[in-house]
Structure 1
Amino acid sequence: MASPPVRPRRRADAERSIARIVSAARMTLGVHPDATIDDIAKAAGVGRMTLYGHFANRAELVEAALVEALRCGEEVLAAVDLTGNARQALTRLLHSSWTLVAESMALLEAAEGTLPAGRIRELHAAPSARMEELIRRGQADGDFRSDLPTSWLISVVHYVLHGAAAEIRAGRMPANPAGTVTATVQSILTVPAPDENGPA
């Protein structure tokens, strides 16, 4: 009796070619968010036909580069100790998050100019969920303010991270402002002091 057909596996050299192209896309778009297919193919050391054999268009390649960057980032963030006091845990998470945001800011800019906003939010679901869980825990423990919507506080944290990266790119902030970023976020989340005057 004949054996069922075996689905052919992608050749090892094709897998290596894809990995090389994605790596080149991350590197190139991480410096020049407007980099073209030709720029990326040149950085990868492959021809246009080879690149298009794996990626139908620039959008597919940009998404693959972003997915790879987020995968590597997730490995780093998943190793951060978030136990104990929420404020201290947030400081540890921000230091790791800040480094990743700074490294991928130009790549994110390329993605925002290419991919639908909903897709970008979907790809960032894991780091966003981690930040939300930590902030909610801090609110429940009384470490973080709860007078503002949690979704808004999370958005503000992301604005601070991305804003700092943009300021660095513009030359208006030092290259490693992790302390400034952390102090800013912690101040935003600090429980406000009671109104000494009381209700009107």
Structure 2
Amino acid sequence: MSSKSTTKRADALRSIEAIVQAAAECLGRNPDASLSEIARAAGVGRVTLYAHFASRAEVVDAAMSRALDRGNEVLNAVDLTGDPLLALERYIDAGWHLVDQAQALLAAAQRELPAGRIRELHAGPAARVEALVARGRAEGAFRTDLPIAWLINVLQAVMHSATEEIRAGRLNPERAASHITATVLAAFTPPGIPVPEPRGGA
């Protein structure tokens, strides 16, 4: 490869990275952000943007992929071993921030991308929490009378609701993790067993 083509490729990669970063930031603030706004924020023209991305959906997909990759890095550092209840608290403490940060971006993705693609992009985080819930059920900490998929859906719904309550001014962000944890523990506890108090200081 000639030095000229190497330079051209490096320039293209820089443009793509700038566009994806700008898309994540612009859509993270406003799910209706236009491609013109994203191009301006990236410091490129619309022609350059369209040279790398054929549609708005492709831009949204790349931005969502980037956000989830960053989120996976955060969640990979969370210790999900040991007591399932404490592991769940640690997951919520880290995970709800990611949900809060990606709320507007997810709204853009839901408008532009098929539901199957959104599920595919969320496969990493979903598998992580699914394994934790399955282990908690096996150890008697979580209820077994409801499907794992439903319990995970409840967890995600509560985290999303918390971010909406924060935006509406009805929930202090500093109390979000404790509210989410208390609600999810109540939903996950086997029938007939007292709901445990959150113990992780979340």
TM-score, normalised by the number of residues in structure 2: 0.89
Summarize the Cα distance change of 1:10–1:172 in structure 2 as closer, same or farther, 3 Å threshold.
farther
1:99-138 aligned at under 5 Å gives the runs 99-138=97-136
| Partner residue, 1:155 | 153
Q: CA separation in 2, counterparts of 1:103 and 1:150?
A: 25
| Partner residue, 1:78 | 76
Q: CA separation in 2, counterparts of 1:30 and 1:94?
A: 21
Superposed CA offset, 1:134-174 (max 9, x none): 00100100011111111111111111111112222233322
Name the SS for the 1:188 alignment partner.
helix
Q: CA separation in 1, counterparts of 2:106 and 2:80?
A: 26
Q: CA separation in 1, counterparts of 2:7 and 2:65?
A: 22
Deviation at 1:9, TM superposition (A): 9.3
Runs of at least 5 residues in structure 2 that lack an aligned partner in the other structure:
194-202
Q: CA separation in 2, counterparts of 1:137 and 1:10?
A: 50
1:26-37 aligned at under 5 Å gives the runs 26-37=24-35
| Partner residue, 1:3 | none
Percent of pairs with identical residues? 55
Q: CA separation in 1, counterparts of 2:37 and 2:7?
A: 29
| Partner residue, 1:61 | 59
Deviation at 1:11, TM superposition (A): 1.0
Name the SS for the 1:68 alignment partner.
helix
Deviation at 1:186, TM superposition (A): 1.3
Runs of at least 5 residues in structure 1 that lack an aligned partner in the other structure:
1-6, 195-200
Deviation at 1:77, TM superposition (A): 0.5
Q: CA separation in 1, counterparts of 2:42 and 2:167?
A: 25
Q: CA separation in 1, counterparts of 2:42 and 2:7?
A: 23
Q: CA separation in 1, counterparts of 2:15 and 2:39?
A: 11
Q: CA separation in 2, counterparts of 1:147 and 1:165?
A: 28
Superposed CA offset, 1:117-136 (max 9, x none): 11101110111111111001
* Residue range with higher mean Cα deviation, 164-173 or 139-148: 164-173
RMSD: 1.6
Name the aligned partner's letter for residue 170 of structure 1.
A
Q: CA separation in 2, counterparts of 1:157 and 1:130?
A: 13
| Partner residue, 1:181 | 180
Summarize the Cα distance change of 1:163–1:8 in structure 2 as closer, same or farther, 3 Å threshold.
same
TM-score, normalised by the number of residues in structure 1: 0.89
Q: CA separation in 1, counterparts of 2:168 and 2:20?
A: 27
Deviation at 1:80, TM superposition (A): 0.7
Runs of 4+ that moved beyond 6 A: 7-10
When Rg is computed on C-alpha atoms for both structures, the one with the higher figure is 1
Superposed CA offset, 1:22-48 (max 9, x none): 000000000000001011111111111
Name the SS for the 2:68 alignment partner.
helix
Name the SS for the 2:112 alignment partner.
coil
Q: CA separation in 2, counterparts of 1:154 and 1:9?
A: 46
Q: CA separation in 1, counterparts of 2:55 and 2:77?
A: 34
Name the SS for the 2:144 alignment partner.
coil
